[in-house]
Copies of this chain bind each other. A is one copy, B any other.
Amino acid sequence: MEPGLGVGLGVGLGRAGAAPGLKAAFSSAHIPTEQLELAASYVSDAQYNRNIHFETSSQAIRLHKIYNHWAAQRVIYLFVLVDLLLALFEEPAVYLLPIWVSVLVCLLTFVGRLAHFSKIIPTKVFWRDAKNICLIITIMLTLIDMTVYWAVVITGHDTVRWSRVLRPLFCVNFTESRQLRRAFRNIRHTLPEILSVFVLFMFSVAVFSLMALKLFEKRNLTTDKGAPYFTNYLDIFFELYVLVTTANSPDVMMPAYNVSWGYSIFFIVYIIINTYTFMSVFLAVVYNNYKKHLKNEVRKLVFMKHRKMVEAFNLLKVQHGSEFIILEADWSQLVRIVAPEIPSAHRALLWRVCDEDQKGYVGQEAFIQLADLLNIQVVQMKERIHPLEVRMPSIYTSAVSQFIRRMVKHRGFRYMYDFIIVVNTIFICGDEANPYISEAEWVFLTLYLIEIMLKLYTYEPRVYFAKNQFWNWYDTIIVLAALLGTVINTALKSANGYSNQQILDIVFILRILRTVRIIDSFYRFRILLNTLLNLLPTMLTYAMLTIVYYTFAIIGMEAFKGRIRFYGSNSSDPAANYCGNPALKGTQFAADGYCKNNFNNIIHSFILLVELTVVNQWHNILFDIKYKKKICIDDTKLETRLKFKIASIRYKTVDTLLQHMFEAELKPKDQLPTLEEIEEFSPDDMVPQRPTFYSVA
């Protein structure tokens, strides 16, 4: 880059004249394509917040581009998903299929992806990254497990496919969802800091258990079921621990309360201290630490982005007077490489934003904005002409047609359809067996179809089906699906003489969902719903955390499969009363009819884990597991029980309330804070002013 060239350019050049002048002086030809490609890689990484320390050789840059191509990523996502879904078809299976060979295919893809990645970055960096090490070890362990399993099964024995537990690691370490990893990292960082609160909490439960033991031990009280009440320390500890989650309230108190109301004070004080105070402290500590860590993460991210943009700038800069600049031609070529899908009109617009003063070049600061500018979606607001107007203008602009279009745009049209929805709801509430009501369904379907067609006639289809038109999409999909379902159902009915219940169920639900659209007519509800829809992506990221359910489900299946059996709802088999396991005779679990809450396949396991997350009755579900274990493998009992407890506590506290609430505070697009926002972070955010327990604990 010849720095001398720029010096001669006068400052006196007029604004309008400056741009062509500069263009003439520096042809962009002097920047080699290789350098441009490298700069484009930096900008692209900055745009998508990727932190890949790739090598600068031209081959590595090419591989880097392929590596980040959406198709390559999709293939990996697909195989990760296939690997996870294999649990449906493996023993204990929902549908047993001999497809374990497909694990090999998945592993091969993963190895290929890793090899590809190793070509991009320096070998040293590759081996220092915990993600890669973790993946290689996981792949190797899976291979070993498969070999051992195959060998053991061949010899006719039974063994445990323990490597399946590791499958979620592929999801966490392979996918490009940095947010998921960040969420995990955040939780990992927060955990040690709540440890001291947790220990104090357990100490408190232990002290209260001791008090309960001393108070009730000698009283010979019995529970409702006639069992001795509060006589064993560990049982008391467990009962009081369950009380923290309020799952056994008020039953645990009743025997003591029946003796004297004074004892209820003990339980009330316990609940106030352990359920309300400690849980609040947990929440406060988690919230504060989580916020702190997230802020640090974001700050780091912005710093990395900034550095990458500076690198790109340094590759393309030329000297102009005392400052370094990038010329419009170079800039334009760069953007064309980074984002070939951007039309030239949009590119010109971006340039005008960068080069505010129309000087024909940009400085470093304006250039750095580019990473954020590329992420802005430009919505074309220009009036599109309706295709019908293009095809047959005479009909479309006729008086009748114009009247129809004005009518559809009138708000009376909306009110009319709101009224139709209300009437439809009344019909839905009626009895389906009534022929008038089932016939009316056709009328409503027709009315809705007419509405959609009228709207498509009035509005330009691409505008009607724009990305942000949630309710138009909703309407169309629901109505078309209902139409399809109703037609299929009628066809089946006339063919076989009876309806298919599954299809009927779906049609019923679609009909009811159709009426939900009425929300859109109320301004406040519309705003609320739009906010919720905007929050959806961030909420989904945290919903991805349910990937740990998979691990728990696999562990549960390996440990408990087949121990509880469900005999159908109307089974006359006497074993149905105790779920086929004599150890469950007379337990609350069997009495409540929880036989289907088992680990017999991955779907049942997931539903069971969701039930545990919802917390109520979790102690009964666990008790059962305890009893089951007692007769089988006794040493892992406590550990497993603990795992479930931790899972249920964590989900109850962290996930549901806090994170969503916290996310609600962030902007919908929290990935991209601007430089101004970063500057708003005071140094105090890093080092708390006062050494409160939030910073110490």
Judge whether B284 and A664 touch: CB under 8 Å: yes
Residues of B within 8 A of A509 (CB): 211, 214-215
Judge whether A257 and B196 touch: CB under 8 Å: no
Judge whether B532 and A281 touch: CB under 8 Å: yes
Residues of B within 8 A of A199 (CB): 525
Judge whether A512 and B661 touch: CB under 8 Å: no
Judge whether B248 and A592 touch: CB under 8 Å: no
**Bound Cα distance A607, B257 (Å):** 10
CB of A181 to closest CB in B, whole Å: 23
Sampled A-B contacts (20; CB under 8 Å): A200-B529, A207-B516, A211-B512, A214-B432, A215-B508, A218-B432, A221-B569, A250-B594, A251-B617, A253-B611, A254-B596, A257-B607, A261-B603, A279-B656, A280-B656, A280-B664, A524-B693, A527-B696, A531-B692, A657-B657
With contact pairs A196-B525, A268-B610 given, residues A508 and B257 touching in the complex (Cβ less than 8 Å): no
Interface flags, A426-450, vs B, CB<8A=1, else 0? 0011001000000000000000000
| Chain B, residue nearest A233 (CB) | B429
| Chain B, residue nearest A651 (CB) | B276
With contact pairs A211-B508, A516-B207 given, residues A617 and B528 touching in the complex (Cβ less than 8 Å): no
Judge whether A276 and B610 touch: CB under 8 Å: no
Residues of B within 8 A of A597 (CB): 250
Q: Which of B257, B511, B617 lies in contact with A249, CB distance below 8 A?
A: B617
With contact pairs A211-B508, A224-B593, A283-B661 given, residues A616 and B616 touching in the complex (Cβ less than 8 Å): yes
Interface flags, A554-575, vs B, CB<8A=1, else 0? 0000000000001011000000
If A211-B508, A283-B661 are given as contacts, then 6 extra A-B residue pairs at C-beta distance below 8 Å, sorted by A number, are A215-B505, A248-B616, A250-B597, A261-B607, A268-B607, A657-B657
Interface presence of A246 (CB below 8 A): yes
Q: Which of B258, B512, B568, B614 lies in contact with A569, CB distance below 8 A?
A: B258
User: Which of A215, A271, A428, A693 has the most chain B CB atoms closer than 10 A to its own CB?
Assistant: A693
**List of 7 A-B pairs having minimum Cβ-Cβ separation, nearest first:** A280-B660, A214-B508, A224-B593, A196-B524, A258-B569, A250-B611, A284-B664
CB of A646 to closest CB in B, whole Å: 19
Q: Which of B207, B261, B527 lies in contact with A512, CB distance below 8 A?
A: B207
**Bound Cα distance A254, B505 (Å):** 19
| Chain B, residue nearest A655 (CB) | B276
Judge whether B592 and A254 touch: CB under 8 Å: yes
| Chain B, residue nearest A433 (CB) | B218
Residues of B within 8 A of A207 (CB): 512-513, 515-516
Interface presence of A465 (CB below 8 A): no
**Bound Cα distance A617, B242 (Å):** 14
Judge whether A246 and B614 touch: CB under 8 Å: yes
| Chain B, residue nearest A253 (CB) | B611
**Bound Cα distance A657, B696 (Å):** 22
Interface presence of A210 (CB below 8 A): yes
Residues of B within 8 A of A319 (CB): none
CB of A248 to closest CB in B, whole Å: 7
Interface residues of A in 648-664 (CB under 8 A from B): 656-657, 660-661, 664
**Bound Cα distance A671, B200 (Å):** 30
Interface presence of A452 (CB below 8 A): no
CB of A141 to closest CB in B, whole Å: 31
Residues of B within 8 A of A697 (CB): 524, 527-528
**Bound Cα distance A276, B597 (Å):** 22
Interface residues of A in 521-538 (CB under 8 A from B): 524-525, 527-532
Interface presence of A464 (CB below 8 A): no
User: Which of A224, A425, A531, A665 has the most chain B CB atoms closer than 10 A to its own CB?
Assistant: A531
Residues of B within 8 A of A610 (CB): 268, 271
CB of A237 to closest CB in B, whole Å: 12
User: Which of A255, A511, A611, A696 has the most chain B CB atoms closer than 10 A to its own CB?
Assistant: A611
With contact pairs A524-B696, A615-B246 given, residues A604 and B277 touching in the complex (Cβ less than 8 Å): no
CB of A582 to closest CB in B, whole Å: 21
